[in-house]
Amino acid sequence: MPKIKSVKCHPVSAPIERPFTSSRGWLYKTRGSCIVEIETNDGLVGWGECYGPALVAKSYIDTQFSSRLIGRDPFDVEVIWEDLYNRMKDYGSSGMVISAMSGIDIALWDIIGKESRKPIHKLIGGCFRSEVQCYATGLYFIDMDRLVEEAVEEACGYADEGFPAIKMKIGLGDIRFDIRRVEAVRKSIPDNIRLMVDANHCYSVAQAIRIGRELEQLNIEWFEEPISPEDLDGYTEVSRTLDIAIAGGENEFTRWGFRDIVARKAMDIIQPDVCAAGGISECRKIAALALAHGVECVPHAWGSVIGLAATLHFLAALPDQPPSFKPMPPLLEFEQCENPFRDLLSREPITHRSGLVQIPTGDGLGIEIDRHILERFRIS
Please list the active-site residues: 300
Distance CA 246, CA 296 (A): 10
Give me the phi and psi of 359, to 5 degrees please.
-70, 130
Of 76, 104, 108, 95, nearest in space to 254 by CA: 95
Using the CB atoms, write b or e for 77-101: b if 16+ within 10 Å.
beebbeebbeebeeeeebebbbbbb
* Strand order from edge to edge, sheet including 45-50: 4-20, 28-40, 45-50
Closest by CA position to 36, among listed 57, 59, 8, 64: 8
Q: Note the helical H segments in 43-174.
A: 54-60, 66-69, 77-88, 96-116, 120-123, 147-161
- Alpha-carbon distance of 152 to 339, in angstroms, equals 22
- Separation CA 108–CA 75 (nearest Å): 7
Distance between CA atoms of residues 204 and 217, nearest Å = 20
Cα–Cα dist 102/282, whole Å: 8
DSSP character for 337? S
Handedness of CA 126, 127, 128, 132 (dihedral sign): positive
- Of the candidates 342, 295, 341, 343, the residue with the CA atom closest to the CA atom of residue 321: 295
